[in-house]
Structure 1
């Protein structure tokens, strides 16, 4: 059951509540999002819900079709390939640029996030640390348009990664700290050529894991 929205900015609050339900898997991919039902659950107007859903559509989390309503995006092979191809290109550029521009403070923040990952056992909290690490890398690159491009796909990446974790939670927990520790080391060393390859492979390994999980989906735990 969705919790009632707090009076902060009702469209933004509605978007936040629905987004978290989508990330948590309580609103699965492909689900219809009906304004009347959401407005009743959130205790806001349909107008606020409509505005909130428009925000989520701009993030790529939902799709609206005229006369067919709004649905959470599906996890199709095509969608996964497209999102991870874009992310791989963006991460490669962000990492190699950050290697020349990151401040000591930003490098220290990356190290702290890696240590937090190593100590964390909850997979969804690990995912938040994972995305926070990449947010620091993008900000360290110092390219506003690159950061905006990352933000345009970030919610889709989080959704897809949350499902990847459900398919292979133990493997994700075992690998996440080590992979990010290597990225942080290469960023600090300024080894741009090696960093580019590692940053791109980091994304492609996640893509492969998700696609493999999708092929097993009828037998996977929900």
Structure 2
């Protein structure tokens, strides 16, 4: 039996490189659409090109980068179709999560969601705010106590992060001013155990972000 099992491969460096590149994208060091060149990354990170190449493949599977033979690798820029699909899929997952939280979350779960929302009041900049926004929704999905739902959220989580960064690119001031109060309202609805009210507020929260991204841009 053991003869039919492939030898284990040593892993770790590519994942570490992927973590570093992902962090650079989320912090704004690499803007949406920015090129990611293997030679430059390998020099910056002081690793050979092999782990960099593998790391970029990992990030491509997450939807964070796009690799095209004629353009090389770039940080993903979301198309209008990407935005619409992400919003609809996130909505379907989040509706189930909200119902689950209302029905099954413990007081401790709800307290953790509320604590995460509270951190938004002290966010230093838009990138930290986006991280906390994602962390809030992480907490909601965790409180749903539905592992396959959490796995489905994890599959699109990084792309939702890009979605929010794209929103910030359109209107950072609006995002920083509005998002904390929006999330406090979501917490109140979850604590009330009113599923209909919570679903309406979560839908309105998503719709505000979508409206920013789908509004026609006006020339300066």
Q: TM-score, normalised by structure 2?
A: 0.86
SS at match of 1:31: coil
2:121 and 2:27 map into 1 onto residues whose CA distance is: 22
Aligned residues: 210
Larger radius of gyration: 2
- CA drift of 1:135 comes to 0.5
Deviation at 1:173, TM superposition (A): 1.9
8 Å CA contact retained: 1:57, 1:63: yes
Deviations, residues 37-56 of structure 1 (Å, cap 9, x unaligned): 21122111111011111111
Deviation of 1:191 (Å): 0.8
Q: Secondary structure at the match of 2:67?
A: strand
Contact kept in structure 1, 2:13 and 2:51, CA below 8 Å: yes
Structure 1 unpaired stretches of 5+: 1-7
What is the match of residue 110 of structure 1? 113
Contact kept in structure 2, 1:93 and 1:196, CA below 8 Å: no
- The one of 144, 162, 184 aligned to 2:165: 162
Within-5 A mapping of 1:59-70: 59-66=62-69, 69-70=72-73
Structure 1 equivalent of residue 6 of structure 2: none
Query: Following TM superposition, by how much is the alpha carbon of 1:139 offset from its aligned partner in structure 2, in angstroms?
Result: 0.6
Give the Cα separation in 2 of the matches to 1:51 and 1:199. 37
What's the CA shift for 1:211? Answer: 2.9
What SS does the corresponding residue of 2:77 show, helix, strand or coil?
A: coil
Question: What is the distance in 1 between the residues matched to 2:40 and 2:125?
Answer: 31
